[in-house]
Amino acid sequence: MHRRLDRSGAAIVCTGILHTMAASDPRHDTSRTRGPARTAASSAPSASTASVDPTHGADTDAAPLTPDALAALAHPVRSRLVAHLRESGPATATELAATLGTNSGATSYHLRRLESVGLVRDTGEGKGRRRVWSAPARSLWWQQDDLDDDSESALAWLGRDLVRHFAEQYDHWLEQSGGWPETWQDACGVDDASVLVTPESLQQMRSELREVVQRYRRVGQGNPRARRVAVYDFAYPVDLDRPPVDATT
């Protein structure tokens, strides 16, 4: 079975919560602002990439995730580095350290570790010892059967890390939302729903949600009123005390 990993570096796991949160500075939008707003310290991960699961269509900007790469990614600093490079584009270790609030020397070490497993690369655009880093793939996929126990543990950590990151980022948005225009406050928010589905229909529903998000990825390009927004997709069974008898039930 194939599974995928979005640009956040965390598994989008099996609620229907579709979350949107403004993730950029509103000060260029002069309509009804109430005061300055502070941008988030790190890029909020997003589930807005197209599916790279072969059952949901191909993604030309996707790469396979090996057990070694998964082990390297399951780290609080390294998962944030990959997320920020995918979301915001190439950056130096010094720039990344300033954004994430980490030590530049330690950041360089973590970047080299990620480079060793192909999750980031040196663009060659830096001069001297100044290296510019990028994340070559927007999405990652893996073959479930190829993962060992350590890989499963790493995936579980990444899933929990995404939930923690979501909570931190959304709480930060709630603190700062009063400084944004009312139109943005009305547009952002959390929606939740419950659906009665089979695994196959749930996969289809989430695939359709990803297609919708994909259509809107660049819709605001060139518009000075547009801001980056994080969109999260979580789905999980509600009746945890009633697990299916087998995978086909």
Is a pLDDT exceeding 80 seen at residue 205? yes
Distance CA 135, CA 115 (A): 9
Distance CA 25, CA 36 (A): 9
Q: Does 246 fall in a domain?
A: no
Counting every residue written for the chain, the total comes to 249
Please report the pLDDT score of residue 237 as a whole number.
95
Q: Does 91 fall in a domain?
A: yes
98: domain range?
A: 2-234
Q: Does 151 fall in a domain?
A: yes
Please report the pLDDT score of residue 20 as a whole number.
53
Q: pLDDT band at 5, cuts 50/70/90?
A: low
Look at the chain and report how many structural domains it folds into.
Answer: 1
Going across the sheet that includes 189-192, the strands are 189-192, 17-22, 229-234
Q: Does 247 fall in a domain?
A: no
CATH code for position 170:
1.10.10.10
Please report the pLDDT score of residue 1 as a whole number.
46
Percent of the chain topping pLDDT 90: 43
Q: Does 239 fall in a domain?
A: no
Q: How far apart are the first and last CA of the chain?
A: 17
Q: What is the pLDDT of residues 31-88, one digit of tens each?
A: 333 333 333 333 333 333 323 343 334 444 666 778 888 889 999 999 999 988 988 8
Q: Does 249 fall in a domain?
A: no
Q: What is the pLDDT of residues 123-161, one digit of tens each?
A: 988 777 789 999 886 667 766 666 778 888 888 888 898
Q: Does 244 fall in a domain?
A: no
Distance CA 227, CA 216 (A): 12
